[in-house]
Amino acid sequence: MRIKRETLLSVALVTPSIIAIAIFVYGFIGWTARVSLSKWKGLLPDYTWVGLDNFKGLFQDPRFHIDIRNTLIFTVIFVIGSLFIGLGLAILLDQNIKGEGFFRSLYLFPMAISFIVTGVVWRWLMNPAMGSRMSGLNLLFDTLGLDFLINKWYTTPTWGIAFIAIPAIWQMSGYTMALYLGGLRGIPVELREAAQVDGANEVQIYRFIILPLLRPITLSAMIILGHISLKVFDLIVAVAGKQLPLDVPAIYMWQVTFDGYFFGRGAAIGILLLLSVAVLIIPYLIYTLRTEAEV
């Protein structure tokens, strides 16, 4: 008997979930891919093959250009912002300060809130009204005499999307901090002590020892934050509604599919989103699997 009973049992146990995932994840990915190659427009399915027309149309669509630009701006600011603030908080908490547990929880709490709640609160904070109707942060700046900080927030032409990254950073930097804190705690004290013995100062220790050792953590954090940012939808809708200057592919996908009944075009956007996330995730998975195999 080549195959052990345990093996059979384990296969039997995972089979239901494999089948469910095969249907409800991969099956529907396949279906979406098929729809994206069809000219389905209107309520009922029309699977007429149109090749890549939907994709070509998207890349000629000025709205989709805005989507790509907005996604890039948002991703860069959100990922870099979260990484820096997360790392900074982690380093501060790593100094064996009093009440570390309290601060750790405090910084982590925003992650427990949904993007919708975050969005609604920041919508009030980032109220762009001027003059007598001024409120939120603008009113605070005005009261404090920091007039140069008063701005139009997310209604700023062209760069409005960058302000949407602020609530996102607020929400996710605590999580990044937790990742880094774990990494920092995993670095043996002996390494620091050896460096100190060799005469390195604190900056040099971080620059040449700690940060290189945290590289895998940074990579993981980038992947996690990156795919969140590619899929962002709820936060933008909660802060600013669906308006074109702040459009991203996920919003376009929703509107074009469910408001306009262009199912083919909507599916094409979905497939592009999937591909862009895959570009991030697949190299990471390969890297992780390879590392695990080496270990």
Residues in contact with another protein by CB under 8 A are 7, 11, 18-19, 22-23, 26-31, 33-34, 41-47, 62-63, 66, 123, 127-133, 152, 154-155, 157, 240-245, 247, 255-256, 258-262
Distance CA 273, CA 228 (A): 11
In degrees and rounded to multiples of 5, residue 73 shows phi and psi of: -60, -50
Residue type, 161: I
Q: Of 37 and 228, which has the nearer Cβ to another protein?
A: 37
**Cα 46 from Cα 275, distance rounded (Å):** 24
118 versus 127: smaller Cβ distance to another protein = 127
Residue 6 Cβ vs another protein, minimum distance, rounded to whole Å: 9
In the numeric block, the tokens 């937790």 are attached to 178
d(CA 57, CA 61): 6
Minimum CB separation of residue 47 from another protein in Å reads 6
Tokens at 59, concatenated: 């890349």
In the complex with another protein, which residue's Cβ is closer, 178 or 251? 251
Question: What is the smallest separation between the CB atom of 255 and another protein, expressed in angstroms?
Answer: 6
CB of 172 to another protein, least distance (A): 24
- Cα 7 to Cα 34: distance, rounded to the nearest angstrom: 36
Angle ∠(168,172,178) on CA atoms, nearest 5: 170
Q: Which is nearer to another protein, 63 or 207 (CB)?
A: 63
Q: 41 or 207, CB closer to another protein? A: 41
In whole angstroms, how close is the CB of 289 to another protein at the nearest point? 11
